[in-house]
Structure 1
Amino acid sequence: METIGFIGTGHLGYPIAENLLRAGYTVKIYNRTREKALPLEQLGAILVGSPEEAAVKGGIVLSLVADDHAVKAIATDALIKALGAGGIHVSMSTVSPDISRELAALHREQGVEFVTAPVFARPEAAAAKLGNAVISGEAAAKERIKPLLEAGFAKNIFDLGTDAGSANVLKLIGNFMIAGAIELMAESLALAEKNNVDPRVAHEMLTSTLFTGPIFKNYGTMILDRKFTGNPSFSAALGLKDMDLVLQTARRSYTPMPIANLVQSRLTSILAKDIHDADWIALAMGALEDAGITS
């Protein structure tokens, strides 16, 4: 098996890198905080000191970082040159469509393909390879990386064509729909509780009949259990970043999104209260508190 580069072993990147190692790939890993990647060294990972050191000529580098600034910081001329002609940079981050289009053009100038493949999965789903990938980029490059996505996290892969930004648009849509579902459930469960209907019975009935998807089941349970803070798998700060990107994309395409404005406000309120260990499920606190329910 070929040697793969991997940049960014945070909450989501770590289990994906671990899966690739367990699948037999040699993985060169760069993480800004080296200590967080040290356990992967015991599985055979090669830890390196810079993004470009993770690259192999003509090979593949996967990156999974926090935001536009971070992906631009690692997608340097040095990394592109280290990959060289025939190389592929796979961006699995949730970033703006515009930054992906910009980086795709920069990579292509030097014969390197840039494929966007944002991850639809929380860390536990990625670890179990039950995630979903949406991909956009050049056709041959996408075919080459599919086995890595399947080995790393993806149960399903959806191809969105050649525009590097398309996969990012769909990822933002998906995250917006999850945030909207959290708000919907929080308001509904608050209404049940305020009218003396057991919210757990309401949730059980609704998620076993009309709303059977994992988002309603899993996030609904987290709302009922008030699992808002602690060690977040996906932080409120990252959720706010994504809603900012959703609304940025919406403004540029003249698409009104009033629900996105609401959940953006909910997440802003969480951070304004200095609740910095909050998972983005904590946006549900707004609806509960508005109804006078202690969260």
Structure 2
Amino acid sequence: MNETIGFIGLGNLGLPIAANLLRAGYSIAVYNRTASKAESLIAQGARLATRPVDAVTTGGIVATLVWDDAAVESIVMSEGFLEKLGQGGIHISMSTVSPETSRKLAAIHAQHGSVLIEAPIFGVAEAAVARQLLIPVAGPQNAQERVRPLLEAMGGQNIFDFGEVVGAATQVKLVGNFMIVSAVQTLREALSMVEKNGGDPKAVADMLTQTLFAAPIYKNYGRMIAEKKDAAFSQSRIPLKDVGIFKKTAEQVESPTPVSSLLYDLLSSGEE
């Protein structure tokens, strides 16, 4: 654990994940556009980087967890980032981006002797704190083996290997998020119908999520929707962004998008 790990992106999920690394005994250098978000980590011993390149060590490991494709690309292409990471370096890309962007950045890394590993995350901040994140991974096997202890330290309860072809893990993440948004939209519509007909949405959600739909997404969101505690999800920009990426990725290979197109339109109009 002597090497310093770079961590870029301290949003709602990035902050507790970086904190997990510190608790696991890793030395980390952190960068965030709003530097004040790093204060709690600095107090615990993290080093503050003033530029993305300052979080990088030559031949080392740097993780990014930022908003979208453009944000990841801007970091990779920022001054000195690729050159400093250099031969043997590993970039763990943990953001939800398109497979196309992942493949593009992997090729750019290869030109500089470094490697991109995809490791997008299923889980919210509370799951990170509880170390219950699900992480699909794709990229060169030797690099996967090198970063696996890090992913576990970050809070990865289950890590799923989707092979060496970059793009595979982001496909999993896009599919998962598309299915989550679809489930939430279905639950909202269904439980609204029950409530407006004088029924008990909580009782309906309890019955169905203990029987026909006994899955974590249905259970958790069914309860929140029935209790009207799903404001954080409904106000988030993430569903629209991720359904949009899913839809675009499907359209690029001429895969039908009737449901994702409807979802995207509903989310765009604010009728979700």
User: How high is the TM-score relative to the length of structure 2?
Assistant: 0.95
Report the AA paired with residue 146 of structure 2: R
Aligned-residue CA RMSD in angstroms?
Answer: 1.5
Cα offset, 1:235, TM superposition: 5.4
SS in 1 for 2:267: helix
Cα offset, 1:64, TM superposition: 0.2
Identify the match of residue 157 of structure 2 among 152, 155, 158.
155
SS in 1 for 2:80: helix
Q: Which deviations, in whole Å up to 9, do the C-alpha atoms of 1:152-191 show, x marking residues without a partner?
A: 0211111111221111111000000000100111122123
Q: Counterpart of 2:180?
A: 178
Instruction: Give the Cα separation in 2 of the matches to 1:207 and 1:32.
Output: 41
Q: Counterpart of 2:105?
A: 103
Instruction: Give the Cα separation in 1 of the matches to 2:204 and 2:228.
Output: 16
Q: Does 1:242 align with 2:242?
A: yes
Report the AA paired with residue 179 of structure 2: M
Q: Does 1:200 align with 2:202?
A: yes
**Runs of 4+ in structure 1 over 3 Å off:** 232-235
Q: Which deviations, in whole Å up to 9, do the C-alpha atoms of 1:7-48 show, x marking residues without a partner?
A: 001011011000000000001000010001111111111011
Gaps of 5+ in 1: 271-284, 287-295
Q: Does 1:81 align with 2:83?
A: yes
Instruction: Give the Cα separation in 1 of the matches to 2:230 and 2:187.
Output: 14
Q: Counterpart of 1:209?
A: 211
Q: Counterpart of 1:93?
A: 95
Report the AA paired with residue 8 of structure 1: G
Cα offset, 1:266, TM superposition: 2.2
Cα offset, 1:210, TM superposition: 1.8
- Go from structure 1 to structure 2 and tell me whether the alpha carbon gap of 1:259 and 1:159 turns closer, same or farther (over 3 Å shift): same
Cα offset, 1:238, TM superposition: 2.1
Q: Counterpart of 1:263?
A: 263
Kindly tell me the number of residue pairs found equivalent between the two proteins.
270
Q: Counterpart of 1:69?
A: 70
Q: Which deviations, in whole Å up to 9, do the C-alpha atoms of 1:204-225 show, x marking residues without a partner?
A: 1111122121111111122123
> What percent identity do the matched residue pairs reach?
47
SS in 1 for 2:237: helix
Q: Which moved more, 1:160-169 or 1:184-193?
A: 184-193
Task: Check the 8 A contact 1:134/1:159 in 2, yes or no.
Answer: yes
Instruction: Give the Cα separation in 2 of the matches to 1:170 and 1:238.
Output: 16
Q: Does 1:42 align with 2:43?
A: yes
Task: Check the 8 A contact 2:29/2:47 in 1, yes or no.
Answer: yes
Report the AA paired with residue 12 of structure 2: H
Report 1:53-64 matches (<5 A). 53-64=54-65
SS in 2 for 1:4: strand
Q: Counterpart of 2:251?
A: 251
